Structure 1
């Protein structure tokens, strides 16, 4: 079945696909959530004026004023449906962004420029964050300032009790892991994968930067949350991992697992715990993490966030947190954990475009034995953010993007979902009108290009 591009309210879709898209969540996004995020970013820059002055003198103050002016202009463009403008900051990805803008204009086939209400929702969301970066990039010495850093930092500290709980559990389990049989390993893997799954609810872009941290022990609620996992392919994921491990006894190979990260803060810690388990249990030999090259969707993980988290964990005045941080920093130093921040992850493209736009990244992912894609934005890009029928298969929605076996760990916060059973989506819509956007439901969804 063909899918139609998800468009802002009032946007025309080519006749060959369908009529208008009137998704309420898209309308909410552009009319409410995005201006709120921009306003918070502007406020953060302004509140740091004294810091800019202390570090850079009057030059810093003038840069702050110009950056705020550009972001305020961007907010006005967003709220009044102005055309999307080409980027001018000359960063390495600028040409790719501007080429994509030209492609969007060609698709409209009306002679008009793409605008906030008449363009694909995913594109305009990504475009807003890239324009925020441009506002700073055009105003040195503010180029490296992260307008979302305060919110990410606060979220991490607000989740500290939950971080302690999961680290304590894992370290106690780790003492006994060498004696575990496969059945015990499986139980722990499924548990920690669920912790990483539900950690995805801590998304500051959905809460417009408001506190959305994990304040309680996540382990206590896993059993009650199981019915809310709409697609659960965890057994298939386990079979892949354990078979890889068994095959290494007869044919020594290096098992590589990649994790395409989503949010920093508590979710990142759950990803690190899962990664530690995969190494300790010998289900993997090396973990490759993939994060964002610039601040993105408020709380997405950058290299700065990744390094900061390890440092804060090591320096924590709490034994389990500190011990975990020391182990994780050692993994990085030894090359057991490898961090990447390829610029493709902050382009507007769907992932099926990766072989054409970033063939080097696609080739890198092809080396993996299993790729975890965390979160909602990655799922939207995996499936093209299109209005698929609920029952369309995950493989179909990927449209050829299958560099390696992959698994999406996602709590639903955007109105797109594939791979459901007949009638499942319709039944959910009757019982909970916000089932696709509330984060109350989740999926563990798997695709294997070698078994089709």
Structure 2
């Protein structure tokens, strides 16, 4: 178990014990499995590298696999965590984080894989994979997770069609809908985006994990599994942010969505964003993705653009129409995509104002922030062993650039904001409730009201 000190700069009085690298007993063998899959994927594509780059590509493939095999050995034998050497934009920040971590653990000979917080070593592994690629051009830009992400998208085609068809039906008469009707559709699409988070390839170690049935039809049966539902507060925040624009119509200026997984989940996020814009509730949507391949299925800029192109090219009227709408939103600046190195660093979000002040300032411009998925929740709450009844606001430890909502299906041993006795009841009924992806939360915090 990891030491109970924290790398965060949060006040000690608000800190719980950091979750250790072996706290998740059901998934502690996941990292070597993922790493082995990356090695296998790169090796299987050596002919592609040869076709594109000749002998230089084969040499890069061999050297990359050598570095990744070394990394796997370090991971499995509790070797010290090493500084990065690739000289990328975030290298110094990563190494400073390690140095800070070492200062907090002076009683240890070194910071090692087994004696470090789980969140840190998990993020570190993905960053080291990227280092192995960057040190071996010309295959530096190869996305070793791309095959699983594209497969997940195509295997969810029927669910995507159902969702785009529903969206088109809503948009036909959207200007005639009352506020109550708008809320009903908003709530449905918020839940679809929430449950889209079940499709997470990092949890299944890259195994097939797609959406096969209509997500709209599943909502009633899934409703009892939402442990915290603050959707009314999210809606109220959107309503209170309505203000006249140049056209005289009222709308919130901006909603930011911090993305999680590519594939079906990304489509659910795009559909929600389309509804927010086409309904006139929001003028502009900012999407935040990852700058490198991350946690197997997380969205990169290439995934974002590829998904919209594939949707445009679909052999289905409403699916294709949705794709063309999304492309036009991007061209017109109604939708914007960003990535920032902070999202692929180990920092908890309470450190953002100090370690990435420009990103924090960007998020402050939003009327509402939607944080998708489990990893974002772990970083919001610091991946700590909080009592389940600790308030969400408390667990954020001062992070609050704007009103924010976490849409998360539970896949890790951290959950706050529950009612007294709720966690104990869940444990007795379903011992793996925090990790099996069966339960979810829509949790809201507004720093302006604290």
Same fold (TM over 0.5): yes
Task: Calculate the TM-score normalised by the size of structure 2.
Answer: 0.95
Runs of 4+ residues over 3 Å off in structure 1: 14-25, 27-30, 246-254
Q: What is the CA distance between 1:230 and its match in structure 2?
A: 0.3
Quick one: distance in 1 between partners of 2:213 and 2:180?
28
Quick one: distance in 1 between partners of 2:19 and 2:343?
26
Tell me the alpha carbon deviations over residues 408-440 of structure 1, each in whole angstroms, 9 at most, x when there is no partner. 000000010000000100110000001000010
Task: Decide which moves more: 313-322 or 143-152.
Answer: 313-322
Match of 2:41 in 1: 44
Q: What is the CA distance between 1:23 and its match in structure 2?
A: 8.2
Match of 1:12 in 2: 3
Match of 1:338 in 2: 336
Query: How is 1:296-307 mapped onto 2 (pairs within 5 angstroms)?
Result: 296-307=294-305
Quick one: distance in 1 between partners of 2:64 and 2:423?
44
Match of 2:60 in 1: 63
Instruction: Return closer, same or farther for 1:309/1:14 CA change in 2, 3 Å cut-off.
Output: closer
1:205·1:299 contact (CA, 8 Å) conserved in 2?
yes
Quick one: distance in 2 between partners of 1:275 and 1:74?
39
Structure 2: 5+ residue runs without aligned partners? Answer: 7-11
Q: What is the CA distance between 1:242 and its match in structure 2?
A: 2.1
SS at match of 2:255: strand
Q: What is the CA distance between 1:319 and its match in structure 2?
A: 1.4
SS at match of 1:86: coil
Match of 1:210 in 2: 207
Match of 1:381 in 2: 379
Quick one: distance in 2 between partners of 1:317 and 1:19?
51
Task: Decide which moves more: 238-247 or 312-321.
Answer: 238-247
2:124·2:346 contact (CA, 8 Å) conserved in 1?
yes
Quick one: distance in 2 between partners of 1:20 and 1:405?
26
SS at match of 1:422: coil
Quick one: distance in 1 between partners of 2:56 and 2:107?
44
Task: Calculate the TM-score normalised by the size of structure 1.
Answer: 0.95
Q: What is the CA distance between 1:14 and its match in structure 2?
A: 4.5
SS at match of 2:27: helix
Query: How is 1:56-135 mapped onto 2 (pairs within 5 angstroms)?
Result: 56-135=53-132
Tell me the alpha carbon deviations over residues 295-335 of structure 1, each in whole angstroms, 9 at most, x when there is no partner. 00000000000000011111111212111100000000000
RMSD: 1.8
1:280 alignment partner, one of 278, 284, 299: 278
Match of 2:230 in 1: 233
Structure 1: 5+ residue runs without aligned partners? Answer: 1-8
Q: What is the CA distance between 1:237 and its match in structure 2?
A: 0.8
Instruction: Return closer, same or farther for 1:142/1:211 CA change in 2, 3 Å cut-off.
Output: same
SS at match of 2:35: helix
SS at match of 2:441: strand
Tell me the alpha carbon deviations over residues 1-57 of structure 1, each in whole angstroms, 9 at most, x when there is no partner. xxxxxxxx3x33359988896786534434x11111001100000000000000000
1:244·1:283 contact (CA, 8 Å) conserved in 2?
no
Tell me the alpha carbon deviations over residues 229-275 of structure 1, each in whole angstroms, 9 at most, x when there is no partner. 00000011111112323676989675100000000000000000000
Quick one: distance in 2 between partners of 1:397 and 1:196?
23
Quick one: distance in 1 between partners of 2:63 and 2:150?
26
1:258·1:368 contact (CA, 8 Å) conserved in 2?
yes
Quick one: distance in 2 between partners of 1:108 and 1:80?
20
Quick one: distance in 2 between partners of 1:102 and 1:251?
52
1:351·1:401 contact (CA, 8 Å) conserved in 2?
yes
Instruction: Return closer, same or farther for 1:23/1:86 CA change in 2, 3 Å cut-off.
Output: closer
Quick one: distance in 2 between partners of 1:20 and 1:91?
28
